[in-house]
Amino acid sequence: MHIRPFASALALGATLLGFAAPPARAEPSAEDLVNAFEAVLGPIRTHRPSHAKGTCAAGQFVATAEGTRLSIAPTFSGQRVPALIRFGVGVGNPQGSDTSRTTRGLAIRFETPAGDVWEQANISVPIFGAPTPEVFVQNLMARRPDPATGQPNAERVAAFVAANPAVTFQGRWLASNNPPASWATTPYWGVNTFRFRGQDGTVRPARWVFEPRAGTLRLTEEQMRALPGDFLADELRRRVAAGPVEFDMVLQFPAAGDDLNNPTVAWPEDRPRAVVGRLTVAEVAPGPGGPCDRISFLTLEQPPGVEMSDDPILQARAGAYAVSLSRRTQ
């Protein structure tokens, strides 16, 4: 398999059950974000706690003429850009089930022939699980296990959810949409807003989604009960062997009044859209592991063509990724 190894990683490990959540109005540090994960998940040194299960693949991205017009970033030059791709399952350990009612992930590392790198992590749900880093940390801390029972305190969780209903939005979406039948048959959203600088110098806020050219297909209730817990990787290998798996990258642009900085709120589907490129998956690793395991998918912007917005969740990601990487590799 012609996938090059890279040097970074994403992991969240080690339990700190005594960690105290920051005050409600304090902006959590990168350490706070990672500590909150650790307080819930326990020691982790070998895999990601979020989308811990995954399969590495490789392919290419080619921007459309519209993509080149809307972004001066090197990835949107219109030339073939190699891509390292990780498909994931939103479970806390690598043995989690492929039929779980959780998110699926599409993480990508683009690297142009000139060495320009852009990394991103996308999920199969159009919204994130918390509106701010503060709420994200507090939500996790509310769910940390009680040492006496090994389970979260139900009253504490209920009280937090009642005061912060936005943390339920993603779960409600997952409850009303069955899991994907294939990694190749679900859209993957970036959920956060980015700023795209076009050839005309105009800066446009936008969110993106990778839409499967095979169409959207979800598991039936019967399939969720009958399928083995490890079917996604082999299903993807069969698809790619029969022909390329492809996704269109689509930008969505906001209208007046749309919230640019709250990733728990999806913009209405009638907003203007533009197809800016095509991602092709050409090969899949023969087994688990591989170079994707040591990639953090941390380089979230490619200035000046693609830059982060003021979304606080987006701003917090890079630091947390760096902390988790240092803990995993120390």
List, by residue number, the catalytic residues.
Answer: 51
Residues 176 and 224: their CA atoms lie apart, in Å, by 14
- 195 near 157, Cβ under 8 Å? no
Q: SS3 letters for the chain?
A: CCCCCCCCCCCCCCCCCCCCCCCCCCCCCHHHHHHHHHHHHCCCCCCCCCCCEEEEEEEEEEECHHHHHHCCCHHHCCCCEEEEEEEEECCCCCCCCCCCCCCEEEEEEEECCCCCEEEEEEECCCCCCCCCHHHHHHHHHHCCECCCCCCECHHHHHHHHHHCHHHHHHHHHHHHCCCECCCCCCCEECCCCEEEECCCCCEEEEEEEEEECCCCCECCHHHHHHCCCCCHHHHHHHHHHHCCEEEEEEEECCCCCCCCCCCCCCCCCCCCEEEEEEEEEEEECCCCCCHHHHCCCCCCCECCCEEECCCHHHHHHHHHHHHHHHHHHC
